[in-house]
Structure 1
Amino acid sequence: MKLLLILALLSQNTPAAGQEAEWGVVRTARSDVLGGYQDVGASRRDDAWVVRTGRPLLRWDGRAWHNAGGTAVPYLVRAHGPDEIWRFNESVEQVEVWRWNGRTWTALPIRESGAHATAALVPRKGECWAAGLRFGDHGMEDMLWHWTGKSWTSRRAPMPITDFAAASTTGLWALSSYEGGPSASILRWTGREWRRVALPRLPYAELNDIVALAPDDVWAVGSLVSSKEGLVLHWDGVSWKHSAHRPAGTDFRRAAPDGAGGLWLAARKRQGPDSMTHYVASSTWQEVPLDLPEAEITGLANVPGTTMMWATVDARGEQVILSYK
């Protein structure tokens, strides 16, 4: 019954010929403790994946979604094209990492017990950054691991890293935002170290996602806890600036390129279900309701080289995959 309700709501907004594309349901599933959709990613039109809690990946082959099979349970997947995909599998003995080169999977484990990666970035072929935690002599330590083609190197992180973005092979950014701190931070890779950069004065700001469209076009999104407003920051190549788009009662949870120089944002509403916000390049901000009951957007991704998008949503326990074409 819930599936019929979701499909009916979405069909009311199905675009006629010549109208702008809209978000539509392509798959639904019921989940309990296991199987919840946690994230979505894509490398091309016929290759996408959904990360599920405690389950193997769902894979898109250009025609349908299907179970990837096997026993591996990846919780983090990042790619730099269809021939450069990295996945992090659940493991208690080490950080289990696998790399796909277009033909085979190769194991590249981070051999540190008591460690767990929580964020990763593949800025180019043969390179990977990962951030996470390691249990050390003095408790939990914030860590960074870097694969440059031959081995992993490790270093202490200057602060907890929650996300990465890359505008180029040298324009690397990292996000640090965690509850309890006075404000969020953004770091930039200098080639030798991750250095904190200046941000506008934003008391009690939380940043949830960062997206790099170009070296002079980087976005970070979240919320201002004190004023309960949506927060959008933009890097113009010189400095970070606070965008005038500050919707009340909003927390921007995720961001992704729209494939046309703009952005899609997943907006958590303090009252009502999640919605999408579309930023049309150098133009306007448009809120796009999803018409899903109690929707919580859990993943958002662009198909590289296109304006096609994927999103994963939890709607009253129904796990939903949406597409935008």
Structure 2
Amino acid sequence: MSGPPVPGGPAAARWNGSAWQAIGVPELGFPHDASSPRVRLADVAVLGPGDVWAVGGVSWLVPGRYDEEGEPLERSRPVALHWDGGAWRCRWGRLGTTFTQAEPDGAGGMWVLDATGSRLLHQVAGRWTSAEVDGVVAALAWRPGTREIYAAGSVPGDGDLTRAALWRHG
């Protein structure tokens, strides 16, 4: 599932101590009739030696289909690529969003934020669970040496106002 970087495809690199070295990532497939396919890797989380995750998503236009505003219908799907020290493996999320950020959880797993900002996913030993947030998360941060994860964002306020918010787990 790995190979050399493909022009226009996802790419990854690692620092070898003196220079960045390109490493191959899996080719991500699209529906056969997809138009304008795009792949974006948004973040990397290193959980340990031989345990690296790259998260992002794929999106494409559906030919001949349009949304309520008459714009071409776009579909998206999150993807998490896992490097186990020998090969990449691809894990797909549910249709309709992409992943934007990943952070270690301090216990061998990781937290992942989706593009809606209202859903966090927790991955531990290959098992994924989901948690909804009453607000919109803009960023995640793990506190090294602990199992604490922080999320910064906003919650609805009075009228059209929003209020800053900070969440902590662990």
| Counterpart selection for 2:140 from 296, 300, 306 | 300
CA contact (8 A) 2:9 2:27 kept: no
Query: More strand by proportion, 1 or 2?
Result: 2
| Counterpart selection for 1:240 from 88, 91, 105 | 88
Alpha-carbon shift at residue 314 of structure 1 (Å):
2.7
Map of 1:18-97 to 2, 5 A cutoff? none
Q: Which moved more, 1:249-258 or 1:181-190?
A: 181-190
Alpha-carbon shift at residue 193 of structure 1 (Å):
1.8
Alpha-carbon shift at residue 188 of structure 1 (Å):
1.3
Amino acid at match of 2:164: Q
Q: Secondary structure at the match of 1:228?
A: strand
Instruction: Provide structure 2 residue ranges, at least 5 long, that are not aligned to the other structure.
Output: 1-6, 29-36, 61-74, 157-161
Map of 1:116-135 to 2, 5 A cutoff? none
Give the CA RMSD over aligned residues.
1.8
1:279 and 2:123 aligned:
yes
Instruction: Provide structure 1 residue ranges, at least 5 long, that are not aligned to the other structure.
Output: 1-180
Q: Secondary structure at the match of 1:237?
A: coil
Report what 2:115 is aligned to.
268
Map of 1:155-234 to 2, 5 A cutoff? 182-202=8-28, 204-226=38-60, 228-234=76-82
Alpha-carbon shift at residue 291 of structure 1 (Å):
2.2
Report what 1:257 is aligned to.
104
Report what 1:318 is aligned to.
163
Aligned length: 137
Q: Secondary structure at the match of 1:223?
A: strand
Separation in structure 2 between the aligned mates of residue 205 and residue 196 of structure 1, nearest angstrom: 17
Amino acid at match of 1:216: G
Amino acid at match of 1:229: R
Separation in structure 1 between the aligned mates of residue 49 and residue 152 of structure 2, nearest angstrom: 28
Report what 2:134 is aligned to.
291
Separation in structure 2 between the aligned mates of residue 233 and residue 259 of structure 1, nearest angstrom: 19
- TM-score, with length taken from structure 1: 0.40
Separation in structure 2 between the aligned mates of residue 200 and residue 237 of structure 1, nearest angstrom: 14
Separation in structure 2 between the aligned mates of residue 221 and residue 234 of structure 1, nearest angstrom: 9
Separation in structure 1 between the aligned mates of residue 13 and residue 110 of structure 2, nearest angstrom: 21
Alpha-carbon shift at residue 287 of structure 1 (Å):
0.9
Q: Secondary structure at the match of 1:247?
A: coil
Structure 1, residues 141-161: CA drift from partner, whole Å, max 9, x if none?
xxxxxxxxxxxxxxxxxxxxx
Amino acid at match of 1:324: H
Separation in structure 2 between the aligned mates of residue 319 and residue 291 of structure 1, nearest angstrom: 12
Deviating 4+ runs (over 4 angstroms)? none
Alpha-carbon shift at residue 298 of structure 1 (Å):
1.6
Q: Secondary structure at the match of 1:250?
A: coil
Structure 1, residues 198-247: CA drift from partner, whole Å, max 9, x if none?
1111262101110111120000101111251111001110122212x421
